[in-house]
């Protein structure tokens, strides 16, 4: 017998939901988009209309619906924990925008609730589902660049409008959680667990209530260093490089490539320099697919949960280290 689609509702109408995740949910054959909720009825109808699903003006009402198996939460960071907790209590699987919460202890609590209930709780970090990074890992594991010596990653975006939620501290704004998340997660992805934050700086531009840029130095237990930089008042950059004893690997358009982008991996080793051209891949669709599979299996798995918690712990450590400067 064919398994019925996962019935998903969306709590909020943020840009990331409208532009990328809603289309991916709608396009997945194993997903049925059942409702979009907004405090504004007009906004809910505007966003829900193209998908033929219900427009709801209460997040609570969505959680009470029997035709909802799972929710996607693209609300501001400060609201993630509340609505993820409520959704889990209502027996719904949860896909929440990154970061899952603003603090590691809250992330640990929610992961524990999901595990106890046999529900999927997944942080919406998309780039890890793009196969270009698996190619890079394979090259490193094969010894293409010798022994890994250093890692660097950068993610930055141009200035955002003054009213953007990323400028509002009460909503969890600031460059670290929204922009810095990417290079920190990339360090965890490529350098592995056990990272120590040995240096960090968070900078505020004039008049800003939140940090607008930052830099972090991490070290692995074996002494490999990672240099991470991020900001939201910069020329756009999204890249990382692994530097070994015998060569290096570089990836541009690393974190948020559009579905039609054909990735290139630049490799320099003893044989010279070359470009590896890869096929386009829709990392948003791949993330939705991973969520569906997690929901059907009753959870994201211990390894994914541990990585989510370690990411939250690293972000906490960056804040703590930067405060000492």
Catalytic residues: 98
Gyration radius of the chain over CA positions: 20
> Could you tell me how many helices (H) and strands (E) the chain has, helices first?
11, 14
CA atoms within 13 A on the CB side of 248: 10
Distance in angstroms (rounded) separating the CA atoms of residues 87 and 92: 5
What single-letter DSSP state applies at residue 39?
S
| Residue in the structure block whose two tokens are 């889990």 | 88
Distance in angstroms (rounded) separating the CA atoms of residues 126 and 74: 14
List the beta strands (DSSP E) in the chain: 6-11, 31-37, 54-56, 70-73, 93-97, 121-124, 148-156, 196-203, 213-219, 225-231, 237-244, 248-252, 264-269, 272-277
Angle of the 181-191 helix axis to the 302-323 helix axis, nearest 10: 120
| Residue in the structure block whose two tokens are 């995740």 | 21
Token pair for 178: 């929204």
């Amino acid at each position: 017998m064919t398994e019925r689609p996962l019935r998903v509702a969306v709590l909020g109408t943020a840009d990331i939901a409208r532009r990328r995740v809603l289309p991916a949910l709608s396009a997945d054959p194993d997903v049925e988009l059942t409702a979009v909720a907004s405090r504004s009825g007009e906004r809910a109808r505007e966003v829900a209309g193209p998908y033929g699903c219900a427009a709801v003006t209460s997040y609570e009402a969505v959680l009470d619906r029997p035709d909802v198996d799972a929710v996607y939460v693209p609300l501001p960071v400060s609201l993630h924990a509340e609505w993820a907790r409520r959704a889990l209590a209502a027996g719904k699987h949860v896909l929440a925008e990154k970061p899952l919460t603003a603090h590691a202890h809250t992330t640990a609590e929610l992961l524990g609730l999901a595990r106890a209930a046999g529900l999927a709780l997944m942080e919406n970090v998309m780039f890890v589902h793009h196969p270009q990074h698996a190619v890079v890992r394979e090259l490193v594991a094969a010894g293409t660049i010798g022994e890994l010596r250093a890692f660097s990653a950068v993610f930055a975006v141009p200035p955002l409008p003054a009213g953007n939620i990323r400028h509002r501290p009460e909503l969890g704004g600031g460059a670290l959680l929204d922009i810095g998340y990417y290079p920190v997660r990339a360090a965890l992805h490529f350098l592995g667990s056990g990272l120590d934050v040995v240096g960090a700086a968070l900078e505020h531009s004039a008049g800003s209530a939140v940090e607008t840029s930052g830099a972090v130095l991490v070290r692995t237990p074996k002494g490999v260093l990672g240099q991470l930089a991020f900001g939201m008042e910069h020329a756009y950059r999204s890249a990382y490089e692994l530097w070994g004893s015998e060569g290096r690997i570089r990836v541009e358009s690393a974190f948020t490539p559009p579905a039609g982008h054909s990735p290139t991996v630049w490799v320099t080793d003893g044989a010279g320099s070359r470009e590896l051209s890869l096929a386009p891949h829709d990392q948003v669709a791949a993330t939705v697919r991973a969520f569906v599979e997690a929901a059907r299996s009753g959870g994201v798995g211990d390894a994914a949960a541990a990585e989510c918690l370690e990411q939250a712990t690293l972000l906490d450590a960056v804040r703590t280290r930067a405060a000492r400067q």
